[in-house]
Amino acid sequence: MKCLPTKQASWPVRKIFGVRKWFPPGEIQIALLQHCTKGKFGIKKAYQGFIPQFPKVSWKGITLGASTLRRRQFITWLAIQKRLATVDRLEKWGISVNKDCILCSSEKEETMEHLWLECSYAKHMCSALLNWIGVVHLTTNWDTKVQWLEKQVKHNRARADVLKFLFSPTIYHVWNERNNRRFRGTQQESTRKLKEVAIQLHTRGNHQQKRKHVLEDLNCYPT
């Protein structure tokens, strides 16, 4: 006889019943017994045990700030893995569009490396924001940039926290500007975007006590 959870059963119980199909016949009982302690079955322990475990990525601390908007986290997540749909990637998928970077007048192909390391638009945003918060960092390699940022955000200092806060909006605004220019025919100068980022930092970042004294020093717009 098949044992099925009632509709009133809690969500974890129904999930635990759902994993039975992953096991060969008869082995689910053995798997469930592993989550018994002193004869008592622990639903929480079983549920956590059945969740697939994956290694944590080193850049988790950069993308998952509580004050970062989900849409920006997603764009940053794609950018870190070099998975944004830049022109060179679109071409590999058989989609043909104008190859030149639309953010600058260099006539260089829009690639991940160009967009984040060479393009004058993105470079201006990054250097202005770093200069604004008094941080110096120069690199011509995206992986090095991400690794440097990973190290910085591990420090629990207010300035590192501000740096982490600024990363996602910078990535998001550059990518958003690229999309607006390429697909909507509208454009905004990087100075306007910098003002937006600065206002966001002050409005959203002000809730964190440890940032307050850093924000007091940032009393002008980045240029």
Sites of contact with Zn ion (CB under 5 A): 101, 103-104, 119
Minimal distance in Å, beta carbon 102 to Zn ion? 8
Which residue's CB is nearer to Zn ion, number 102 or number 153?
102
Name the residue nearer to Zn ion (CB basis): 62 or 115: 115
Q: How far is the CB of 74 from Zn ion (least distance, A)?
A: 23
Contact between 123 and 94 (Cβ < 8 Å): no
Rounded Cα–Cα distance for residues 14 and 9 (Å): 6
Tokens encoding 132? 């604004």
**Rounded to the nearest whole angstrom, what is the least distance from the CB of residue 57 to Zn ion in the complex?**
28
Following CA atoms 76, 67, 135, 156 in sequence, which dihedral angle do they give, to the nearest 10 degrees? -110
Closer of 103 and 149 to Zn ion (Cβ): 103
Q: Shortest CA distance to 98 belongs to which of 184, 182, 179?
A: 182
**What's the min distance (Å) between Cβ of 194 and Zn ion?**
17
Closest to Zn ion by CB, 103 vs 163, is 103
Chain-centre distance of CA 156, in angstroms? 19
